[in-house]
Amino acid sequence: MMSENIENALNKQIRIEAESSQIYLSMACWAESKGFEGVAEFMFAQADEEREHMLRLLRYLIERGGSAVVSELSKPPSDFTSPKAMFEKVLKHEIFVSESINDLVSITFDEKDFATHNFLQWYVAEQIEEEATARNILDKINLIGDDKSGFYLFDKDVRAMIAQKPME
C-alpha cells in the first residue's frame, strides 16, 4: 500500500500528463491550420506520448493498491501566434513538468517509498529528453530567423524527429 500523500501526488501528476496531451493536441490543430504539417504530426505524436505517460502512472497507482482519479482537465490555449512562440511554450511547459516530477520524487524520499522513487526514474530521464527536444527545435527556429523559405525545410525536419525518438 502507498501513503495518501503519495497517492495524491501521483493523481496530481496524472492530471498534469493528461493536460499536457490536450495542450499538444491543440498545438497540432493550430499547426495544421497554418500549413505546418510536419509540426502537426510531431504534435499529434507528442499528444499520444503524453497520454502514455498518464496511463503508465495510472496503472502503477492501481497496481500498488491506490485509487486513481480521472479528473477534469483545463482547456488548453488554441492560438499560438508563431512556431517560435509555440515551441517556447512547449519548453516552458516541459520545464514545469520536470519541476513537478522532481517534487514528486522528493515526496517519495520523505515518505520512504522507494518503490515509487524507483518507478519515477523513468520520468526523470524522459524529462531530460523532452526538454532537450524542445531546445533543439527552438535552435532550428532561431537559425531560420526571418527566412520564410527556411520554414519549409524546418517543417520536414520536425516531422523527421518523430521517427528519431527512442522507442520505449
Residue from the set 130, 134, 137, 141 that interacts with ligand FEO by CB under 6 A: 130
Please, which residue, 30 or 123, has the CB nearer to ligand FEO?
123
CB of 47 to ligand FEO, least distance (A): 10
Residue from the set 97, 120, 137, 158 that interacts with ligand FEO by CB under 6 A: 97
Rule CB under 6 A: is residue 57 a binding residue for ligand FEO? Answer: no
- Report d(CA 94, CA 23) in Å as an integer: 11
Please, which residue, 136 or 156, has the CB nearer to ligand FEO?
136
Rule CB under 6 A: is residue 11 a binding residue for ligand FEO? Answer: no
Q: Which residue, 64, 83, 98, is CA-closest to 137?
A: 83
Contact 105, 65 (CB under 8 A): no
- Report d(CA 105, CA 159) in Å as an integer: 33
Please, which residue, 28 or 151, has the CB nearer to ligand FEO?
28
Give, in order, the Cα–Cα distances in Å from 73 to each of 23, 67, 102, 134: 10, 18, 22, 23
Please, which residue, 17 or 113, has the CB nearer to ligand FEO?
17
Give, in order, the Cα–Cα distances in Å from 70 to each of 16, 102, 108, 137: 11, 22, 22, 32
Rule CB under 6 A: is residue 117 a binding residue for ligand FEO? Answer: no
Q: Which of residues 19-38 bind ligand FEO (CB under 6 A)?
A: 20
Residue from the set 7, 50, 113, 155 that interacts with ligand FEO by CB under 6 A: 50
In the block, residue with C-alpha cell 504534435: 43
* DSSP H helices in 64-148: 83-110, 114-144
Contact 19, 130 (CB under 8 A): no
Please, which residue, 94 or 155, has the CB nearer to ligand FEO?
94
Residues of this chain that bind ligand FEO (CB under 6 A)? 17, 20, 50, 53, 94, 97, 130
